[in-house]
Structure 1
Amino acid sequence: MKALLLPTALLCAALAVQAADTPGASPNVPQPTVQDRLANARKAVARNDWSGAMRELNAALREDPQNADVHNLLGYTYRKRSSPDLVKAMDHYGMALKINPLHKGAHEYIGEAYLARKQLPDAERHLAELEKICGGPACEEYQDLAKSIADYKARN
């Protein structure tokens, strides 16, 4: 009987060490992918659940720090939450554009952030970039930023 207990105990110890080496992992439970986390963050944003979006996006960023979509949505979340942080928003938009200079969403959102900072020429520069990328009114991002700029001009 003792001969059977020792191998069983060793096996259990080995499994415990393996589980301890995988932080946050549960056996047979798939971990969310970056795309899963982005989808969850978009759902949280739709509910104005900014902390839930931040949680998902920061986890996605740890997994894929060079993901332009993650940086873009992080920027959006920083800009839209109840206490906006335009500096962090601009940092993430800038990173998204560094990773992918043709990222239409990042051009739209950074343009809107520039308007929030009363920097119309910079917003218009990103509108011009969108015109080059997608042919002007042919894309939603161009239309949205153009409308934001027109509204800004009407108010100021």
Structure 2
Amino acid sequence: MRSITLPAIVMAMLLCATPVRAADITPVTPDPPDELQQARALIKKQDWRAAATLLTGYTREHPGNADGYNLLGYSYRHLQRYNESLDAYLRALALDPKHRGAHEYIGEAYLSLGRLDKAREHLEILDRLCFFPCEEYRDLKKAYEAALLGK
């Protein structure tokens, strides 16, 4: 008769203890609010003023939404309203310190202002946040390296 080893028993117990998800249960990510969808459409059309106006109202009504502040900062940055842009990104990061988009965009705002030191800080944060280099890290790194070369 064959004996069962302790590692085999432990493995069987672990397999039995692992929860199994039903096939019909799918995690659902809610759609972004209509205002954010509208803002993204305006941003895609590069209608920065209309996006900023919409997002100013949205963030006033939803002060806890980091995505709203991130998009507001993005719109302000493209209007070259850098102080307002930085304020919006900092609000987004205060709400969600791991918001990769806000780290990328605030880094790009700092590059526009010649603040390579501050851009580098956000590049380093993205390096820690992204297990593998993510799009936000790659985009900011490319912009940062171009700024270092004076391009």
TM-score category of the 2 structures, normalised to the smaller one: 0.7 to 0.9
Deviations 1:57-111 (A, max 9, x none): 1221132111100001100100002xx1100000000000000000000000010
Match of 2:51 in 1: 53
**Mapped partners of 1:85, 1:34: distance in 2:** 26
Partner-residue secondary structure (3-state), 1:155: coil
State yes or no: 1:144 paired with 2:139: yes
TM (normalized to structure 2)?
0.75
State yes or no: 1:125 paired with 2:121: yes
Partner-residue secondary structure (3-state), 2:105: helix
State yes or no: 1:68 paired with 2:66: yes
**Mapped partners of 2:86, 2:37: distance in 1:** 22
Q: Residues 7-156 of structure 1: matches in 2 within 5 Å? A: 35-81=33-79, 84-135=80-131, 137=133, 139-155=134-150
Amino acid at match of 2:150: R
**Mapped partners of 1:117, 1:55: distance in 2:** 23
TM (normalized to structure 1)?
0.73
- How far has the Cα of 1:41 moved from its partner? 0.5
**Mapped partners of 1:112, 1:52: distance in 2:** 21
CA RMSD of aligned residues (A): 1.6
Give structure 2 stretches of 5+ with no counterpart.
1-30
Amino acid at match of 1:109: Y
Aligned length: 121
- How far has the Cα of 1:50 moved from its partner? 1.5
- How far has the Cα of 1:136 moved from its partner? 5.0
- How far has the Cα of 1:132 moved from its partner? 0.7
- How far has the Cα of 1:34 moved from its partner? 6.9
Percent identity between matched residues is: 43
Task: After the TM superposition, list the runs of 4 or more consecutive aligned residues in structure 1 that deviate by more than 2 angstroms.
Answer: none
- How far has the Cα of 1:133 moved from its partner? 0.6
Partner-residue secondary structure (3-state), 1:66: coil
